[in-house]
Amino acid sequence: MRPTSPRRRTALAAAAAAAMLLSTGCVNGQAGAAAVVGDQRIGNEQIEAEVAEVEELAASFGQEIPQEQRSQLASGLLRTRIVMTVMEQLADAEGITVAADDTRARLAELGGRDALADQGLTDSQIDDQVTMAVIGDALVGGAAPGEIGALEDGVRDGLRDQLTEQGRLQGVPEEDLERQVEEELERQEPSIRVQASNLYLNERIQPYLTAQEVSVSPRYGVIDPATLEITPGASPLSAPEAAPASPTLPGQ
C-alpha cells in the first residue's frame, strides 16, 4: 500500500471539512429522492447502485456485506454523495473546471485505479477522491499571496508550544529543548502545510455550505447536523416510501 501523500490528505480532509459544515433540513417530499441538495436530486436508485458496487467489490475479496449492515452502508454512501454534490456545486460557482487531464494526472499521483481498488475503493469512491483532490487544489491555488503562509505560521506556532510543553513534562533540559523542538518542526513541515491548506479550505467552503438547503429522506435515518452522521432507521433498500401524510419516524 502506498503512503498517503500530503495532497491526498488535503483532499480527504477537505471532504471531511465539507461534511462537518453541511446544513441539513427535513425531507422535501420529492418521490424517490434519497436527498436534495439545493435544486439537485440524489435518487434512491443511485445509492442502491453504489451499495451494489460495494457488495461486488467485497465479493471480489471473498467477503460479504451482512444484511443488517446494509442500512448503515447506504446511509454512509448517501453522506458521501451529499458532500460530493455540494463540492461540485461550489466548484461550478467558483468557476473551477474538473478537466479530464487534471483527473488523469491526479489519479496517477494517487497510484492509479488498480492500486486504489486494491485498497478497497470502488470505482465511484475513486472518482470522488480524484475529483475532491482537483477541487481542493484549485481552491487552495486561488489563495491570496501570503494567506496560506500566515496560516502555516499559526499552525507552526501552536505545534511549537505543544512540543515545548511536552518536552518540559518529559524533563528535557532547557538547553536542548529549543533545538529538539525546531528539529521536530522541520520534520513536521509537510504536515504543517497540509493543516494550513485545510484551514484555508474550511474558510472558503463554510459560507457556501452553510447557505445550502439539504433535505434527506427519513428512509435513511436521522442526520446529526453537526457531524452529518446518519443514524439509520428502516432499511432504505427494503422499506416502502412513507406516505407524505403519515411519515414513518426513525426507530419505529
Name residue, grid cell 488498480: 114
According to CATH, what is the number of the domain 6-144+211-231? 1.10.4030
The pLDDT assigned to 30 comes to 61
Q: What is the pTM of this model?
A: 0.68
Contacts 24+ apart (CB under 8 A), 87-90: 87/14, 87/15, 87/18, 87/131, 87/132, 87/135, 87/205, 88/131, 88/135, 89/37, 89/38, 89/40, 89/208, 89/212, 90/135, 90/205, 90/208, 90/209
- Indicate the range of 12-26, 143-157, 173-187 predicted with least confidence: 12-26
Q: Given a cut of 50, is residue 23 above it in pLDDT?
A: no
Question: Under a CB-based contact definition with an 8 Å cutoff, are residues 236 and 74 in contact?
Answer: yes
Residue pLDDT, tens place only, 174-219:
999 999 999 999 999 999 999 999 999 888 887 777 677 778 888 8
Q: Where are the domains positioned within the chain?
A: 6-144+211-231
Give bridge partners of residue 222 from the DSSP assignment: 231
Amino acid found at 100: A
Three-class SS of residue 126? helix
3-state helix, strand, coil in the chain (%, to 5): 60, 5, 30
Three-class SS of residue 223? strand
